């Protein structure tokens, strides 16, 4: 990518999209293109085609999509499936039609089997049953991963790059208690419990499942690195993680300390845990020369500070 290349960041107001925009600008890229949801409906094929025809982007970061935690995935599976598949299909087709040089697509660690061997390797994709509550979302993301590979193969190109970051967090995350992922939901729960002076807080599940978390700006750096090193990439997906995981109990303790909540933490074991562990093997991408740099404590402090300064915005994002 040249500094004046036309770079479309889809989903620029979201968790990853905002981090990408920030990193690109700080690195001196001046041709950044962005559209709000009201300006461009990515689920509309005609609108997407018109946009690509008029804007002629050279590079695309497809950070737009519908995402959520266990409650949202279980409640709105058809919406998650339709929205994500529609966006992916429309953007992929337009990228090919209007000669985009490289496009980065983002999968999710939930595409791997629920009882996947640890560490989870790229070749474990579609080798077993996926976690039930994430089924529709995972199938949509798997479609995108296979889509990247299929376009590259059929049209003899290396245009489509597929990255699978593990659970992302950071500024501009979704803090809705029903639609967010576990980390951002915990930040809000502990903050509100502290503000309300609650003596205890009850969290879902046993707290035993282990999760790997990666700061959104690290994923943004990995994405830009992938664009710059596209010629080195094989026609496959690449895991993007830190190599460190935490139990939900450990995560809760870290967040409660950062937030300043000192009450009792209880666990509702009647609620689902999800997959027992999701730790990625990111060695293939790490061996290309990239590495994460943000530890969980520092990332959480930045995220909580953003939440405190943007509580009104955070609640608007949740809606």
Looking at the annotation, which residues are catalytic?
137
Omega within 30 of 0 (cis) for the link into 302: no
Cβ neighbours, 10 Å, residue 156: 6
b/e map of 284-298 (b: 16 or more CB within 10 Å)? ebbeeebebebebee
Q: How far apart are CA 308 and CA 50, in angstroms?
A: 39
Contact criterion met (CB below 8 Å) for 160 and 103: yes
Angle 203-207-78 (CA atoms, 0-180°, nearest 5)?
A: 70
Complete DSSP assignment for 268-287: ETTS----SEE-B--HHHHT
Residue with tokens 């519908």: 66
């Amino acid at each position: 990518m040249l500094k004046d290349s036309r770079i479309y960041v889809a989903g620029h107001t979201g968790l990853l999209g905002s981090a990408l925009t920030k990193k690109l600008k700080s690195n001196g890229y001046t041709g950044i293109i962005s559209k709000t949801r009201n300006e461009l409906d990515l689920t509309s094929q005609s609108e997407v085609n018109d946009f690509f025809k008029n804007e002629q982007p050279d590079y695309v970061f497809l950070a737009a999509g519908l995402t959520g935690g266990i409650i949202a995935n279980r409640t709105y599976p058809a919406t998650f499936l339709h929205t994500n598949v529609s966006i992916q299909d429309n953007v992929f087709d337009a990228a090919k039609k209007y000669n985009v040089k490289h496009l980065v697509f983002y999968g999710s660690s939930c595409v791997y089997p629920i009882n996947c061997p640890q560490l989870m390797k790229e070749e474990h994709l579609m080798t077993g049953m996926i976690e039930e509550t994430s089924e529709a979302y995972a199938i949509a993301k798997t479609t995108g991963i296979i889509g990247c590979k299929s376009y590259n193969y059929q049209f003899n190109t290396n245009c489509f790059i597929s990255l699978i970051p593990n659970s992302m967090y950071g500024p501009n995350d979704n803090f809705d208690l029903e639609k967010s992922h576990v980390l951002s939901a915990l930040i809000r729960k502990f903050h509100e419990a502290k503000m309300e002076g609650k003596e205890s807080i009850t969290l879902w599940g046993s707290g035993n499942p282990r999760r790997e978390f990666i700061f959104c700006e690290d994923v943004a750096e990995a994405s830009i690195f992938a664009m710059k090193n596209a010629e080195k990439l094989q026609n496959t997906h690449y895991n993007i993680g830190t190599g460190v995981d935490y139990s939900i109990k450990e995560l809760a303790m870290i967040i409660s300390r950062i937030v300043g909540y000192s009450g009792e933490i209880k666990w509702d074991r009647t609620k689902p845990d999800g997959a027992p562990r999701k730790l990625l093997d990111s060695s293939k991408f790490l061996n290309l020369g990239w590495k994460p740099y943000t530890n969980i404590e520092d990332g959480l402090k930045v995220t909580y500070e953003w939440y405190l300064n943007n509580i009104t915005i955070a609640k608007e994002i949740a809606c």
